[in-house]
Amino acid sequence: MTHGDSGDVSERWRTALAAAFAGLQSERLPPGLHVVSGPLAGAIEHASLGRVDAFRVGGTPQVVRRTRRSLADVPDDPFKVCIQRRGQSVVRQGDTELVLAPGDIAIYDTSRPYELRFDEGWECLAMTLPRRALAASDAVIERSMSRGWTSLDGRTGVLGHLLGSAVREVPQAGGAAHLGEAAIQLLSCLVGGVDQGDPGEALRTRIIAYVEAHASDPDLGHDAVAAAHGLSPRSLHRLFEDQPRSAMAHLREFRLLAIRDALLDPAYASYSTAAIAARWGFLDPSHFARTFRARFGITPGALRREGGAESQRGWRSMATQV
Domain with CATH 1.10.10.60 in the chain: 199-311
**Alpha-carbon distance 125 to 191, whole Å?**
18
Q: Helices (H) and strands (E) in the chain — how many of each?
A: 11, 11
Please choose, from the candidates 285, 286, 278, 287, the residue with its C-alpha nearest in 3D space to the C-alpha of residue 259.
278
Question: What residue spans in the chain does CATH classification 2.60.120.10 cover?
Answer: 3-195
CATH number for the 3-195 domain, one of 3.40.50.620, 2.160.10.10, 2.60.120.10, 3.40.50.11690?
2.60.120.10
Of 5-9, 124-128, 166-170, 199-203, the range with the lowest mean pLDDT is 5-9
Residue 188, amino acid: S
Instruction: Taking residues 281-307, report their average pLDDT.
Output: 91
Q: What is the DSSP letter of 36?
A: -
pLDDT (tens digit per residue) in 54-109:
999 999 999 999 888 877 766 666 889 999 999 999 999 988 999 999 989 999 99
Q: Given this model, what pLDDT does residue 269 score?
A: 86
| Residues whose CB is less than 8 angstroms from the CB of residue 146 and which lie 6 or more positions away in sequence, other chains included | 96
Q: Among positive and negative, which fits the CA dihedral 226, 231, 234, 240?
A: negative
Region of poorest pLDDT, from 26-35, 79-88, 112-121 = 26-35
With a cut of 70, say whether residue 320 has pLDDT above it. no
Q: Which of 1.10.10.10, 3.30.70.2740, 1.10.3470.10, 1.10.10.60 would CATH assign to domain 199-311?
A: 1.10.10.60
CA distance readout (Å), 177 to 25, 51, 126, 251: 29, 7, 16, 19
Q: How far is CA 134 from CA 176, 184, 242, in A?
A: 18, 7, 18
